A and B are shown apart, each in its own frame.
Chain A
Amino acid sequence: MSDRIIFEDVSKFYGEILGVNRVNLSILPGITSLVGPNGSGKTTLMNLMTGLVKPSRGRVEILGYRTDDSENLFKILGYSTQFDAFPKGLTGFQFVYSYLRLAGRDRETAEQLAWRVIERVNLVDAANRNIAAYSKGMRQRIRLALALAHDPKVLVLDEPLNGLDPLARSEMIALFRATAAQGCYVIISSHILHEVDVISDQIILLSNGYVVAEGQIATVRGEIQEHPTQILIRCSRPRELAAKMLENEFTIEVSIHKDERGLLLKTRDADRFYLALNDLALNGTDIESIAPADDDVLSVYEYLIGNEEAVR
C-alpha cells in the first residue's frame, strides 16, 4: 500500500473549461495547503482526490486506493466540502450519526462516535437542533465533524476556516495540527494566506488550473530566482550596518526600517550574504536578530501569482 497521495498527469476539463491540467503531485503526511485565487483549481483538485469528479486524463491514488473505490476510500478519507447544503430535516447529531450508519457502524457505535466528534468541534449544545437553523460557523463545524467522524487517515478540507470566529479558528487550527501530528494527511484549501502560513507543512500553489509550485514554503521561496531574498536585520545602528553591507556586490538594496532600529536588505545570494553578516557580527557589529522577510506564503504567492484575490 502506498503512503502517498498521488496525482499522475491529471487533467480535468468541464466541457471546454479547464479545471486543472497536467497535475503531478506526491503528497506526504502533514498539513498541505492548496493556495491559489478563485478558479485556480483548488476545489477541482480536492474533488478529484475524493472521486466526486473523475479525471479527464491521468490517475489519482490515495494511499493506494483508487478514487472510484468509494467503499474503501472513504474508510480512510474524510472530506469537508464547501457545499453549504445538507440532507433536509436533519439535526446536527442526526447528520453525523446517519453518515456513520451509512458507513456500516452499528447504532451504539455510531452514537458514541457522533457525540465524540460533535464534542471535538464544540457543537454539543446545538447538536439536537435542525441544521437549517445553524449559523454559517456552526454549519462549517458540523461539516468538519462529518469529515472527522470516522477518524480518517486523510482529511480533505475545502476552506475549513470560512465563517468561523477567531476563537473557533484557533481551535480548529489546533485540531488540524493534532491530526497531522498523528501522521495523518491534512489537505486544506484556503484564501487566507497568513493562516496557511501558520499551519502548513507544505504548500501547493495553483494558478489557472496549473500547479505553479509545491513543497515546503522555504524551499519554494528559494527556487524563485527572479525575486531577491529579503532579510530583516534588527540592530542598534542600522545606518552604519547598511553602509557596510552595501560594500558587498551581492547586496542589491537596503532600506532603513521606519523605527530606525533595523534594516531591510535584498540579496540574490543569501548564502554569501549570511557569511558576510557572520563576519561583521564577529568583528563587533551589534546585531540583535536576523530573519527572512519573504519566505512566507504571502510573498511566495505574490511572486508567483501576483496579489490578485489574496487575503492577507
Chain B
Amino acid sequence: MTPVWWSQIKAVIRLEIKKTFFAKRGLWIYLVAALPVLLFVAYAIATSGQQNRRASIARQSERPLSYQDLLAVQPGMTSQEVIAILGKPPINFHWTENRPTETGKEREKEPTIEVSHEDYHYSDGQSELYVGLADGKVKSIHLQEANNLGQDSIMFAGVFQFFFLRLAIFFGCLGIFMNLFRGEILDRSLHFYFLAPIRREVVMTGKFLAGLLATCTIFVTSELLQTIAFLWHLPSNVRDVYLNQNHGLEHAAIYLGVTVLACIGYGAFFLVAGMLFRNPILPTAAILIWEAINPFLPGILKQFSVIYYLKSLCPVDIPSAPGTSPVLALLISNADPVSPPLAVLGILVVALIALYASSLQVRRMEINYTTE
C-alpha cells in the first residue's frame, strides 16, 4: 500500500463516517444495539429490588437465619414447628376459604367448611422461602434461591450468542455495510467516488473500514454497557471475585473481541452482497439461513460461515436443558469447535475472501442509475 492510497482511504473514511453514523435509514441499528443493554438494565433493576426486599425480610426476622434453616421446613409440619425453627414470620398473609363439602355438589344449597390459610415469608438475606399453610399445617414450600452467578453467566452467554451475535450484529452489519454502495446508488451519488483519481479498490477499502469503525463503535459500546449492566447488581465483593478470580475480565475481553470479529465477518459478507444484489432481502435471507443451518452442514462447508468461528470463540458454553430435542441441542451446542487461533484466522480468511470478491465486483460496477 502506497502512502497516497492510505491518505485516500482516510479521505473516504472521513466522508463516510458521518453518513454511516447519522444516516436516518440506520437509526434502527442503535435501537437493536440498545435492546440487550435495556434487557440487562431491567434485569439488574429487578434483581437489585429483589435483593433489597430479601435483605429487608431478613432484617425483620426474629433472628438471623441461614440457608440450612430455610431447608429445614418440611411439608406436614405445623405452624408452631415452623415458627420454632425459623421464628415468627416477618411477612405473614392470612385468609380463609369457604370450601364445599363432599355432599354439597348442588350449588344452590352448597354446604361449606371454612379453611384457614397462611403464607409465611422468610429470607436469609439471599434466598427467599415461601411457606403455605392450610389449617395450621405446611402444604407447600417454595424456595427461591439466591442469584447464581453461574446461571447469570449462562444467561449472558445465551443473550450474546442467540440475540446479539445472530440478530443484532447480523442485522446491524446488514444495515450499514449493505448501504455503503447500495445506498449511494439509490441516492445517485456513487459517481462522486468513481470520478476521482482513486482506485476503486481503495474506495471499497475506505468504505469497508468506515463501516467497520461505525459497527464496532456501536456494538462494542453496546457490549460494554451490557457487561456493566450485568455486573451492576452484584455486591462489590462478588463482582471483584468474578472479575479477578473467575475469568470475568477475560470473558468480557473475549466477548468484545468476538463482537469486533463478528463485525468484520458479517461486514465483509454484506459489503459484497450490497454490490451483487439490488434487493437486500434475498442475500440477507440466504446468509441468515446459511448461518442458521451451519451445525448441519458438512465440515468443509461449515468453514465458509461466520457463526462457526464465532461460536468456537465464545467463552461460556450453553448447556442444553434436559429434554431438549436433538436438533435444538445441536443448534445450541458447538459440536466441533476449532481452537481460538484457528477461529480468528478462519474468520479473517472468510472476510478476506469476501473482500476480494468485493474488489473484483467494484471494478466491474457501472453507473447506470436509471436501471436501479
A104 touches B8 (CB 8 A): yes
What CA separation (Å) do A88 and B23 show in the bound complex?
9
Residues of chain A contacted by B369 (CB below 8 angstroms): 83
Residues of chain B contacted by A78 (CB below 8 angstroms): 195
- Give the shortest distance, in Å, between A157 (CB) and chain B (any CB): 13
Is A74 interfacial (CB-CB < 8 Å)? yes
- Give the shortest distance, in Å, between B323 (CB) and chain A (any CB): 54
Per the 8 Å Cβ criterion, residues 29-66 of A in contact with B are 47, 50-54
B196 touches A99 (CB 8 A): yes
Is B247 interfacial (CB-CB < 8 Å)? no
Task: Pick from B7, B191, B363: contact of A83, CB below 8 A.
Answer: B191
Task: Pick from A47, A87, A103: contact of B15, CB below 8 A.
Answer: A87
- Give the shortest distance, in Å, between B229 (CB) and chain A (any CB): 34
Main secondary structure of the interface of A (DSSP, over half): loop
Complex interface bits, B179-207 against A, C-beta within 8 A gives 1, otherwise 0: 00000000111011111111110100000
| A68, A71, A146, most chain B CB atoms within 10 A | A71
Residues of chain A contacted by B98 (CB below 8 angstroms): none
B197 touches A14 (CB 8 A): no
Question: Number of B interface residues, CB 8 Å?
Answer: 30
Select from chain B the residue with minimum beta-carbon distance to A12: B366
Is A266 interfacial (CB-CB < 8 Å)? no
B7 touches A104 (CB 8 A): yes
What CA separation (Å) do A197 and B325 show in the bound complex?
81
Task: Pick from A53, A84, A88, A106: contact of B366, CB below 8 A.
Answer: A53
A70 touches B198 (CB 8 A): yes
Is B4 interfacial (CB-CB < 8 Å)? yes
Known contacts A74-B195, A81-B195: A87-B189 contact under CB 8 Å: yes
Is B168 interfacial (CB-CB < 8 Å)? no
Total contacts A-B at CB 8 Å = 86
B12 touches A85 (CB 8 A): no
Per the 8 Å Cβ criterion, residues 67-84 of A in contact with B are 68, 70-75, 78-79, 81, 83-84
What CA separation (Å) do A85 and B370 show in the bound complex?
13
B11 touches A53 (CB 8 A): no
B368 touches A98 (CB 8 A): no
Residues of chain A contacted by B199 (CB below 8 angstroms): 70-71
Is B249 interfacial (CB-CB < 8 Å)? no
A74 touches B197 (CB 8 A): yes
B363 touches A68 (CB 8 A): yes
Select from chain B the residue with minimum beta-carbon distance to A17: B371
Is B367 interfacial (CB-CB < 8 Å)? yes
Is B88 interfacial (CB-CB < 8 Å)? no
Select from chain A the residue with minimum beta-carbon distance to B19: A88
Is B63 interfacial (CB-CB < 8 Å)? no
Task: Pick from A68, A72, A89: contact of B197, CB below 8 A.
Answer: A72
What CA separation (Å) do A86 and B257 show in the bound complex?
37
What CA separation (Å) do A51 and B369 show in the bound complex?
15
Known contacts A70-B200, A86-B189: A53-B367 contact under CB 8 Å: yes
B-contacting residues of A (Cβ < 8 Å)? 14, 47, 50-54, 68, 70-75, 78-79, 81, 83-89, 98-99, 101-104, 106, 146, 150
The 9 closest A-B pairs by CB, nearest first: A74-B197, A85-B188, A101-B11, A52-B367, A102-B196, A104-B4, A53-B366, A75-B197, A85-B189
Could you write out 16 A-B pairs with CB less than 8 Å apart?
A: A14-B368, A52-B191, A53-B367, A70-B200, A74-B195, A74-B196, A74-B198, A79-B195, A87-B19, A88-B19, A98-B14, A99-B192, A101-B8, A102-B15, A102-B196, A104-B198
A-contacting residues of B (Cβ < 8 Å)? 4, 7-8, 11-12, 14-15, 18-19, 187-189, 191-200, 202, 363-364, 366-369, 371
Known: A74-B195, A87-B189. 5 other contacts (CB 8 A): A14-B368, A83-B191, A86-B189, A99-B196, A102-B198
